[in-house]
Structure 1
């Protein structure tokens, strides 16, 4: 007699709504890529919905083709279309309505922004719905994850959840309704944005934030969702940093310390208008008068802003022509990040000052095991992870004198750095690898997916989920028009 065998459980299936995903070079791409990769590594079937490549390459010129190679091969990436109304400047690419009745077209667009969904990416939502529902009818998803910004992904997740009963999770890597750099509200009290934010939070299975400050702000404003809010910090990838985060260099291992030559201070990351560049370079002017830094260099690596028009005004704020040893080295491909870190002696953590700002770079900086100088307003969220790092140098105020004092102290530490102190610094950073920060979240997502599977099986014995008829009605629609 043959005994019945238990069916092998299928892997959990996730739909990940991440508008900014490789090949985009936006800062939020790295969290999204790391999340998708880790889920795939842990056996999930992952489908990512991202923006069209054309949007990154043609309309915002924020594109790095090399980043696509770093996406796990098992991750399926789909690119639902969208309207480029907000970005299109070529009259030949206008749709018929805009080309023939531009005033009416603009009025209709502005009305939709004010009365339907107040975000320029809103046109992505119906196309995400069509792609998602079509895929769900074939192979049902167990959980939907939405990354913001943009927050059209949150609205799409909510709509998918309403139609299919698939639970969704919101990932606030940025704030929606307030500016985390200026700490000011982005929308007037009667804006639809507040209605939408309350709506998506009310039905979310879980809501995650990059730091405690952002969680507290949202928990106070939306107490009905506070019990479902969690922190999932950013982190760093050992495979990207390579030797910069691994074993001691030859010099460190032999006790010889750093490489010979002038000290190299460096910043690696996107340079933005919010950064305290004046305080950074005023502090550098003072510090370079000290014997410890007499011949030191300050190297700036990275893009100047996120868009082409950002570059010129930012370049004017970098004093490369004053004989201070300051130079701008340009963008760095992800494959070369470890090499750049390896050649620097002191890292300059220069970021906008706000309680809600962490940034992903702080984790990479710590992973190098090298001195880190803070150039930001005291009290920002990044200090939560820097606290306990043995090579962190920060003043009590954001001014030239305190920045200079921190630079001098870091220079001394770099010249006398021992293998033991490097190991201690890297041990602190090891708590923040992507695997360490994302694993607890992956376990909660897996439990959520398992719960979803049990509910569907009990309700229908079918693999199709609910809301199929409603989904069918949304599968047919007009393509994106400019």
Structure 2
């Protein structure tokens, strides 16, 4: 039984969007016969410092054979309550501040750096008890990559890094985030140089990194996101009820990067069509990644309240199947950057229902949707194109027949987690056994 140390800062009960890939990876590995140890953040970080950003029901989907370690961490940058300050910080606040900011400049430029000591202690202790064969890290945060690099060298085992997001550039704006030759670019160069494999969620991101690090290009692979039949179930074909108003839904985190204004205006125009005159656009999900972002995002959604845009708040991952059953068509609204795939698109396809795209036409998710028979998208990201897509999707929802539904599910089945993760698991096994 190969033994893997999996570094994933965000893991259930966290509700962060990256959790689903990490959860699926850990579950898939243990079901494939691996001994899996996950090192993640302490529960208190999600419940207290992120204001209860947790989904307890999601934690129940973690395979009980997975060993989950939650070492304590220094939350200097996240702690604002002086009553919870440590003794050194209370006695010498200026010195503590200087030391912290120096660590950002000289060691690693992420606020998650306080996680590192606990991870290292836990990893070394577990390795001394029973040797790990492989280290896998998923990011963000990318401090997990730096730790994987260090532990791979220390344990003399291969390590693999999984880029859920881009590191040195922002995949939403496509802008490089760090100066060339600076601390973080140096770290990424080391991590990529020595990694046994570098994994990306889409080919656009892989190509960007292959161009930047050509010596490592042969070790770069794509592992798409996917969907879990064990969580969502298998939908049954059901003809639309002609006597009921159509219901469109967006599910997922609503971030400030989304083209919300285009979505709302396109929906408003579409509702002038008789098919959509009484239709509703439901929005399900958290507003932003952090609570403070909600105040800026909510008014942008509320601008469409008079046109049938209804915000329902957050939902549990385990409740997603019910929400999908109650909708007639899905709205895939994401930032317009070519490196963006999003995890929700896979679940959307697994419903066998029409999907309306509200994003730039050349993003990475378009490659996944290509071939899905109920995908409706315009050539431009503007209100008129979006309205046309809504109207076309409404017609498809009313006319959906069994053959089209079955064809949609066949396309979605290419992206079950088992389908996307099995080839990766085979490569990881070869690395752990020293065959690659």
TM range (shorter): over 0.9
Which of 347, 352, 356 in structure 1 is aligned with 2:330? 347
Instruction: State the secondary structure of the residue aligned to 2:78.
Output: coil
User: In the alignment, which residue of structure 1 is the partner of 2:118?
Assistant: 127
User: In the alignment, which residue of structure 2 is the partner of 1:294?
Assistant: 277
Q: Which has the higher contact order (CA 8 A, sep 6+)?
A: 1
User: In the alignment, which residue of structure 2 is the partner of 1:23?
Assistant: 13
User: In the alignment, which residue of structure 1 is the partner of 2:44?
Assistant: 54
Instruction: Give per-residue Cα distances to partners, 1:378-431, cap 9 Å, x unaligned.
Output: 100000100010100000110000000010011001110001100001100100
User: In the alignment, which residue of structure 1 is the partner of 2:402?
Assistant: 419
User: CA contact under 8 A between 1:372 and 1:392: conserved in structure 2?
Assistant: yes
> 5 Å matches for 1:159-198?
159-198=150-189
Instruction: Give per-residue Cα distances to partners, 1:290-325, cap 9 Å, x unaligned.
Output: 111111111111111122112222111113674312
Give the greater-gyration-radius structure (CA): 1
Instruction: State the secondary structure of the residue aligned to 1:327.
Output: strand
Separation (CA, whole Å) in 1 of partners of 2:406 and 2:194: 45
User: In the alignment, which residue of structure 1 is the partner of 2:221?
Assistant: 230
Verify: 1:387 aligned to 2:370, yes or no: yes
Q: TM-score, normalised by structure 2?
A: 0.97
Instruction: State the secondary structure of the residue aligned to 1:123.
Output: helix
User: CA contact under 8 A between 2:280 and 2:308: conserved in structure 1?
Assistant: yes
Verify: 1:108 aligned to 2:91, yes or no: no
Q: CA offset at residue 174 of structure 1?
A: 0.7
User: In the alignment, which residue of structure 2 is the partner of 1:34?
Assistant: 24
Separation (CA, whole Å) in 1 of partners of 2:390 and 2:153: 54
User: In the alignment, which residue of structure 2 is the partner of 1:87?
Assistant: 78
Separation (CA, whole Å) in 2 of partners of 1:16 and 1:153: 10
User: CA contact under 8 A between 1:177 and 1:186: conserved in structure 2?
Assistant: yes
User: In the alignment, which residue of structure 2 is the partner of 1:308?
Assistant: 291
User: In the alignment, which residue of structure 2 is the partner of 1:246?
Assistant: 235
Separation (CA, whole Å) in 2 of partners of 1:42 and 1:148: 23
Separation (CA, whole Å) in 2 of partners of 1:65 and 1:413: 36
Separation (CA, whole Å) in 2 of partners of 1:41 and 1:415: 40
Separation (CA, whole Å) in 1 of partners of 2:316 and 2:330: 18
User: In the alignment, which residue of structure 1 is the partner of 2:413?
Assistant: 430
Separation (CA, whole Å) in 2 of partners of 1:207 and 1:258: 48
User: CA contact under 8 A between 1:281 and 1:319: conserved in structure 2?
Assistant: no
Separation (CA, whole Å) in 2 of partners of 1:152 and 1:107: 20
Instruction: State the secondary structure of the residue aligned to 2:138.
Output: strand
Instruction: State the secondary structure of the residue aligned to 2:4.
Output: strand
Verify: 1:325 aligned to 2:288, yes or no: no
Q: Aligned pair in 2 of structure 1 residues 240, 259: CA closer, same or farther (>3 Å)?
A: farther
User: CA contact under 8 A between 1:301 and 1:331: conserved in structure 2?
Assistant: yes
Could you tell me which runs of 5 or more consecutive residues in structure 1 were left unpaired when the two chains were aligned: 1-10, 456-482
Q: CA offset at residue 223 of structure 1?
A: 1.2
Q: TM-score, normalised by structure 1?
A: 0.88
User: In the alignment, which residue of structure 2 is the partner of 1:44?
Assistant: 34
Verify: 1:139 aligned to 2:106, yes or no: no
Instruction: Give per-residue Cα distances to partners, 1:12-52, cap 9 Å, x unaligned.
Output: 11110000000100000000000000111111110000000
Separation (CA, whole Å) in 1 of partners of 2:305 and 2:349: 30
Separation (CA, whole Å) in 2 of partners of 1:415 and 1:77: 46
Separation (CA, whole Å) in 2 of partners of 1:328 and 1:259: 25
Which of 214, 225, 229 in structure 1 is aligned with 2:205? 214
Aligned length in residues: 435
User: CA contact under 8 A between 2:242 and 2:398: conserved in structure 1?
Assistant: no
Could you tell me which runs of 5 or more consecutive residues in structure 2 were left unpaired when the two chains were aligned: none
